[in-house]
Structure 1
Amino acid sequence: MRFARLGPAGSERPVVVAEDGTYLDLTGVTDDIDARFLASGGPERARAALASLPRLDVPEGMRVGAPIARPGKIVCIGLNYARHAAETGAQPPAEPVVFMKAPDTVVGPDDDVLIPRKSAKTDYEVELAVVIGSTARYLDSTDDAAAHIAGYAISNDVSEREFQLERGGQWDKGKNCETFNPLGPWLVTPEGLDVPALRLRSWVNGEARQDETAADMIFDVPHLVWYLSQFMVLHPGDIVNTGTPAGVAMGLPGQPYLRPGDVVELEIDGLGKQRQRLV
C-alpha cells in the first residue's frame, strides 16, 4: 500500500494512493499517519477498509506533505555506499557511521529547500528511508528486523558540507538546517518490494547525478535496523536514512554545489519522485 498526506503544512489529510493514482480518503480510519497509527495496526486497518474508502477529489497542484507526521527521530547512516565513501576520500567503514537529524528538518517532497545563511556548500543526497512500525530494542539478529519495518520512502538528506566538515567536526551542524530533509511522496509498505533492487537516482537542473541500487549498500537494511537497536530504542514513526550513492556535489569535479534557483529531482523505483527548488 501507498500512504500519503495532502494539504497545507500542518493541515495535511491522510490518504491511500490507489493503483490508478487516485486518492482514497483515510480520515475514517485515522486522523493522521503518525506513530500512533503505525503502532496500533493502522496499515492493517486501512487495508481491511480499502474497498470502502471514499475516493477523494484532489485539486490539481495540491501540496503533498511528508508521509509521516511528527517523526520521533531521524537516524542517519553515513558512507554506506562504497563508491560514495571513495568520492569523499574515506575508507569504507567497518561499522555503520551514525548521526542524527532533528524531526523539524522534515518537509514535503516538493517543498522549497532553504539554502542557509553563509552557505557555500549545500549538497543533495538521495536516500532510501526506512520507517519504523514497531518498537525495536536489542534485536537478536538481522532476521528480526523485517517485523519492525512499516515501510519505505524517499529521503533527501540535504547537507551543508562546510558546516558538516569544516566547522568543528560535528556532522550535525551540516545536517540540521531548516528544510534539510524532504521526505516522500509516499510511505510504501514492504510487501512486494525487492529492496536491494530499488534504484536510486537524482538530477540537478535536469543533469543526472546519482544512479545506483540499494544492493550496493555496505550495510543492508536488516543489518542497519538490527545494529541500531543495539545502541538505541527504535520507536514507531522513527526514520532511518540509509545513506547515499556516489554522485553528490562534494565528490564531483568543480564541486557544483547548489545555488538559489537550482532544481533537484530524486526518484527511487516504486517509491515515487521528489522535486525541490533551492531558494
Structure 2
Amino acid sequence: MQKIDKFYTFHLSHKTKSKIYIRRVEVSKRILHRSIAGLILTISLTVLGFTNIYKNNSIAKSEILNLNSSAIITQHIAQNPNNKSFEHKSINYSHPVKSDNFSINSGAPVTSIDMDTEPVIEEADLENRMRVIQTTSNPAFLPTIWAHLGKINNEYGFRRNPFGGRSYEFHSGMDIDGEKGDSVLAPANGIVTKADWQGGYGNLIEIDHGNGLTTRYGHLSQGNVQAGDTVQRGQLIGLVGSTGRSTGPHLHYELRLNDKPINPRRLLPLEPVELKKAD
C-alpha cells in the first residue's frame, strides 16, 4: 500500500502457473474515512440500543416485582385481620382533633357503588315492590318503628367522607346519634341472621323480616342476641357504641331489600320535632 495525499493506493497480486498479475487500486481518503466513521457510529448506536432495551426490561421487571409484592402484602392483610402490625387504631375521644377533619358520631363501612355494573333498583320498580310488601305482609314484620331515637347525623345516600378530606362516599344507611350504652330495639319481628364483628360495621346485628326485607345495626358496643334467635318488635337487641369505622357513639341503621340498601325512611315515621331541632 502506498499513501498519497488524496488516495490510498493498494497493489493486489494474483498468480497463475505461468504469469503474475498485479492490479493497482486507489481509494479516496475522504470516502474511506467517512465509511469508517459511519461504521463506528452504526456499531455505537446498535450497542446503545441494546443497552436501553436491557435497562427498560430491568425496570419493567422491577416494577412487576413491586406490584406483586404489594398484592401479596394486601392479600396477607385481608387474610389476617388480626395481625397486630396492621391493627386498626381507635380515636381517642378525650382529645378529639378539629371538627373539620371528621364528622362527629358518624361512620359505617366504605360502600363502593358502580352505576355501570351494580344492579340498581329502579325507583318505579322499588315503589311497586314496596307497595306489594306493605299490603301483603303482617304489619308486625315491617320495620316501621325507630330502633333508637336520636338526632340524624347522616342520611342515606352520598356524603362527604366523615374522616376528612374532599372525597365522597355512598352511605348505605342512617347514622342516629346516641350515647354509648343506649338501647337498640328490634323495629319488627324477625330472625337474627348475623350477630358478630363485620369489618367497618364493627359489632353488627342483621335481622331478616321476610319478603326480602332485612335491617342492619352497626357499631354496637354490645349485642344481646345471637344468629338464629327469633326477635319481637320492641325487643332489646343491643347497645349503641362506636366499634368499627366510626368517629363516635351512634347507631348505623340500614334497611335492605333483596340485600340491596334502600332508604330506611321509606318505612319509618317522622322523628319527633324536638329531635329535628337538636343541635
TM-score w.r.t. the length of structure 1 is 0.23
Query: Which structure's relative contact order is higher, taking Cα pairs within 8 Å and 6+ residues apart?
Result: 1
**Structure (1 or 2) with the larger CA radius of gyration:** 2
Q: Which has the higher helix share?
A: 2
